Each structure stands twice: as structure tokens, then as C-alpha cells.
Chain A
Amino acid sequence: MELDRPLPNPITPEARPFWDGLREHRLMLPRCGACGHVFFYPRVLCPRCHARDVGWIQASGRGTLHAFEIGYQAFNRAWKVTPPWVLAMVELAEGPRLLSNLVNVEPDPKAIRCDMPVRVVFHRLTDEITLPLFEPAP
């Protein structure tokens, strides 16, 4: 089946637990063993206390829509999703923010507002890759 979006590429070694977790429908986040800071994107030192003791936790999958956009045209060549679609910045309950899409919602600024509660849905692309998308939460 032809993919409607680019696969994450290249996947870097320090991010492997994130992508492995998604395949099993778990949203994993790096957490500093020294100061407890939960952060994203994955890296080998804590951006708050700079300790090199980085572990992983499973996130709740809940958060809020921090900011959003509605795309009316493709912005990269591999993007085949029919516009309009919702580009989302989600602030997870654990603290960090990530970019994603808001799905199962009307792609209309009147139907979407910042800070609305959202929850993760797992979107399988290939045997290897599952993406974390988000939908409005009750």
C-alpha cells in the first residue's frame, strides 16, 4: 500500500526506544534519572540538569492542544493526505511538547481551540513504524 505521508527518517539510535514503544502502542518519553525531568526529543543528556543518566517512562497519552494550524496544501513532496488537515502542537500531561496531527475532528478553526484536551491514537504506517496522532479527549 502506498503511504500517504513520509516515514520518519533517519531514525537515530538515541530515539530507538521512542519508535519501538510506538510499535507496541506505548508512548515512551525520556526521563532524567538525576532530576526527574521528562523531555522530548530524545537526547543523551538532560537539557535541564545536564546529567547523562537518561531513562524512559511510558506517558499517559493525555495532554492539551497547545497550538494548531490547518494545512490547505502539501508542504513536503511525500505528503499525500488530502487537505485540509490539522497540524498540532501537543503539550503532554508529563510536560514536553511534540508535533503531531489532530484527527477525528473537523479541520475548521471554529471546531478547534488551543488548550482543548487531547489523547493519543496510534497510527500504524508499516510493520516498523507507528506514529502518535491525537484526537479530542472527552
Chain B
Amino acid sequence: MSAAADLRALRNAACIVGVDESDEIGNLPHKSQLTLHLEAVANAVRDAGLRISDVDGIFTAGQHSPALLGEALGITPRYVDGTSVGGCSFIIEVGHAVAALHHGLCDVAVVSHGESGRSGVGVSPRRDTSLTGQYEAPFGFGGAPTFFGMLTTRHMHVYGTTLEQWAQVAVSTRRWAMLNPKALRREPLTVADVLASRPVVYPFNVLNICLVTDAGGAVVLTRADRARDCAKPPVYVRGVGEGTEHVMVTQMRDLTFSEATRLAGEKAFRMAGVGPHDFDHVMLYDAFTSGPPLMLESLGLAGRGEGVHCFAEGRSTPGGSLPINTNGGGLSYTHSGMYGIFPIIEATRQLRGECGARQVPGVRLSLVNGMGGMLSAAGTLVLSNEVGS
């Protein structure tokens, strides 16, 4: 049996049946990281019409292991996965959950994120790895902006991309945030505001960089036959894909093109039987304004160097032909550190038609793509409210 045939067997095998954030998201110095996890799991399980005691598969990334979550939830999972390759790990874990559910390794899977990214409550201090400590820190590198900026200035050099074009990504995303009551930043934003904001590390001003918040989020999945008995309409996982290329930014083969993202997208599209131009809703991990355009290029939704054009002329904004980051993104809604759970939550809500003022009319096929590190790792999901052909 070929690999492609295996993947087709997983198409629509499982559904997302529950999603939610922690009770609140934002600046939460009164809540520990573990609390953010537990609130999110409890809320997402309730959204599915299930009980925590139904959960027998735990998937998470970050500082807390799936074993700790099982203990804290008071359950004994049959299956755990702690894949941790950066902020997209939760997207990748949805794929792993689909496979585990399909093979009966668990019956109800929860993918959980909790991070006290702003307040640092219940967080252990990080240690430099030998690689960062030897080859990056002595030159002033530290924190994602000092690495992602390299991809960005190289893209500007190769394709002539401008600071104004990156700023349009922040402006487009804010337009959606203004429609989302849960978004942290909802005041109007212009390209001039982005260009005039505080310089952090060229080419990024502070408004080119995601928020730093405290937040939890969780996603519940079960097999398609069981999904029909849950509280909300099922969202079918039609395609999943993952890839990793590098960790150290110097090791990325082409700074303007993410091989990990290309791999993840190709696998997910092939499994789902769709092409890059079939989507009517797109969620892209936006830690920096340059991230989503590079993802569009690596996924094949835009030509090389042309990703920024999707954010010009209102295409990506409310009422546009390619709505992107309709929750307001990491740039304006929330970004706790490992953002990847939140695009899954928003895509699910859009496909259920729950999004109120920001609802995209008639959404049928949604693309979720996230990165880990500096486009070092990637996860892609193709989600739909229909089984499809």
C-alpha cells in the first residue's frame, strides 16, 4: 500500500467536536499556567457535550507533559503525545490524534495549550541550549524577533518587499480583531501607525510583532461515527501534514522559503484531495507580520515573493475574497507564546458559523497553517464542515 493510500484512509476519520479558550485570555497574573490548561480542557470538553472522564488521549506541548495534565485532570489516559517542535505543535498533534483515533489507540483526544507567557505564573525558568549559548547569544541574539528578522530582511532584498507591505498584514489582521470581542487590541490601526511605532529590531517595529499574553486553549476530537452524537456539528479533519527543516536559523536552506511548510501543506492537501486555491478561509500563525506572506508562498497560495499581495487591496479583510486570520491573530487577538491552538479554534468556530460580526459567510473549507520557531517546523490542517467528495 502506498503512503498516499494510507493518508486517504485517514481523511475524515476524525472530527473536531469541541473547542474553547481558558475562562479568560490576556493579562492574567492571578492564574498559573496549569490553570490555563485545565480551564481550556474543561471548557472545550463541555463545548463537545462530553465529560473530562470521557477523555482518554492527551496531547500537549510546552513545559507541562501530557502525564502532568492527566494527573491534574484526574484521568488515566490510554494515549499521550508530547511532540514539542514550537508553536505549531498543537496543529501537528491534531494530525497525530486523527491517526491515534483511527487506529483505536484512544476514543476521545484532547489537544491542550496553557501558557502564562506574559505573567510567568507557574513557569519554570528556561535554560539556553549549548547551540544558542555558543553561537547566538554572544552576538546579542535572543528571542524570536532577532531570528525571524533575518528571514524578513532577506525577503526584502530578494523580492523588494517593503516595510509598508509588511505593515499591511498588521492592518488587515486588526480589521478582524475589531470584530472579535475576545481580541486584546481592537482600536483602529493604519500602515502609518505601524511604521511610526517603537523600533525593536529592524525590520520590526513593535506593531510588526505579536502580543505577549497569558492564555489557554483546547481542541477535542473523536472518530467521525461518534462525532455525530456530540453537542455541536462536527468539523471534519480532511487533511493533516507536518514538517520540520531546522532549528537554528543559519541552517534554513533558503531564508525566504519554508521547506517545512511546503512539506506540511503538500501532505495535507494531498490527503484532503484539495489544491492551494480551494480555500474560502485561511488561518496562519502570525508571530510577525512577515510570517503569513512567507507561509502563503511556501504553501503555494501565492507565488514566490507575492504573499504580501494577498494583504493588499482588502482581499484578506472582512468582506474580502480570501479572509485571513479572522480572530485577529497573534498580532491583535492573543499570543501566549505557542499560539498554534488558537487558529484551530477559530477555524472550527468559523466552520460552525459561530463567529457573529466576524463570521465569513458560507465557509466550507478552511486552511490552518502554523509554524514552530522561524518557519523551522510546520503543521497544516484542512478542515471542513462537509465530508466532501
Residues on A facing B (Cβ under 8 Å): 5-12, 15, 40-41, 66-76, 78-79, 81, 85, 87-89, 96-101, 109, 113-115, 125, 131, 133
Contact = CB atoms under 8 A, between A and B. Distances in A.
Given A87-B146, A99-B250, A71 B130 contact: no
Contacts, number: 117
Given A87-B141, A89-B250, A67 B151 contact: yes
Nearest to A71: B201
B249 interface: yes
Given A41-B135, A76-B140, 20 more contacts: A8-B134, A12-B134, A41-B134, A69-B201, A69-B203, A71-B146, A72-B199, A75-B145, A76-B143, A85-B140, A87-B140, A89-B249, A99-B141, A99-B250, A109-B202, A114-B153, A114-B157, A114-B158, A115-B157, A125-B138
Interface in B236-271: 248-251, 255
The majority secondary structure among interface residues of chain A is loop
The majority secondary structure among interface residues of chain B is helix
Contact of B142 (A8, A75, A88): A75
Interface centre among A8, A11, A109 (most CB of B within 10 A): A8
Contacts of A5: 138-140
15 contacts: A6-B138, A8-B138, A9-B133, A9-B134, A10-B133, A67-B153, A68-B153, A69-B150, A71-B146, A73-B200, A76-B140, A85-B140, A87-B139, A89-B249, A101-B140
Interface in B29-78: none
Contacts of A66: 150, 154, 255
Contacts of B154: 66-67, 114
B353 interface: no
Interface in B280-316: none
B250 A113 contact: no
A5 to B, nearest CB: 6
Contact of A81 (B140, B150, B199): B140
Contact of A75 (B146, B151, B153, B202): B146
Contacts of A87: 139-141, 146, 149-150, 201
Contacts of B139: 5, 87-88, 99-101, 131, 133
A96 B135 CA distance: 13
**7 A-B pairs with least C-beta separation:** A114-B157, A76-B142, A75-B142, A70-B202, A69-B149, A67-B150, A67-B154
B250 A97 contact: yes
Nearest to B248: A41
A39 B35 CA distance: 45
B137 interface: yes
Nearest to A101: B139
B128 interface: yes
A81 to B, nearest CB: 6
B130 A10 contact: yes
Nearest to A6: B137
B334 to A, nearest CB: 22
Contacts of B81: none
A34 B185 CA distance: 56
B257 to A, nearest CB: 14
Contacts of B138: 5-8, 125, 131
A75 B157 contact: no
B202 A8 contact: no
Interface string B84-114: 0000000000000000000000000000000
Contacts of A7: 138
Nearest to B256: A67
B3 interface: no
B131 interface: yes
A121 to B, nearest CB: 13
Contacts of B142: 75-76, 79
Nearest to B130: A12
A40 B251 CA distance: 8
Contacts of A70: 201-202
A40 B134 CA distance: 12
